[in-house]
Copies of this chain bind each other. A is one copy, B any other.
């Protein structure tokens, strides 16, 4: 017999992230998972219903989530929790070694544009650097507030995670400042 392909196929980052969310929030409806994505300042995944609902059922069929139906009033809902194998899968994803490329350089719309900045007139280049810097500073406030929120809620590791975003945005601000200065000369 061939090994069951569906059982073996590696999960996507979104699937592991959902596993992580359920681990934190269990018992947790698919709707609650969606909200988690909506409230995140990161917009890489939108956590759309069209992604989350089929995904949750998929993980349940694979035995990584277990579903239980509860009700509020006469209304039913499905709450998920991690199964034993789900927790094991989450831990395997978290623990070293990291997969190829997990520490690699990430997509950055500002960097992508900077490669081709010579196509603009010098004055427009400086405007780009100044504008990008301003936008980054705005982002810094948003993620800074998010760090505080996690701190106050006592979720120190999430705060530490979000501090990664703070570090990165500060680095990008420094980079855009440097770019502005170099373009000014």
A contacts, CB < 8 Å to B: 13, 16-17, 20, 23-24, 41-44, 87, 90-91, 93-99, 101-120, 124, 127-128, 131-132, 135-136, 138-139, 143, 157-158, 160-165, 167-172, 174-175, 178-179, 182
Contacts and interface: CB of A to CB of B under 8 A. Distances in A.
B102 A110 contact: yes
A23 B167 contact: no
Q: Would you call the interface of chain A mostly helix, strand, loop, or mixed?
A: helix
B115 A157 contact: yes
A6 to B, nearest CB: 24
A54 to B, nearest CB: 21
Nearest to A139: B103
B172 A97 contact: no
A103 B44 contact: no
Contacts of A97: 131
A107 B106 contact: yes
A160 B98 CA distance: 29
B118 A157 contact: yes
A24 B174 CA distance: 27
A85 to B, nearest CB: 14
Contacts of A111: 161-162, 164-165
B139 A24 contact: no
A18 to B, nearest CB: 11
Contacts of A171: 167-168, 170-171
A165 B132 CA distance: 16
Contacts of A98: 109-110, 131-132, 135
22 contacts: A20-B115, A20-B119, A42-B106, A42-B107, A43-B104, A44-B106, A90-B119, A91-B124, A93-B113, A94-B113, A94-B119, A94-B120, A95-B124, A96-B124, A98-B132, A107-B107, A117-B161, A160-B182, A163-B175, A164-B172, A168-B168, A168-B171
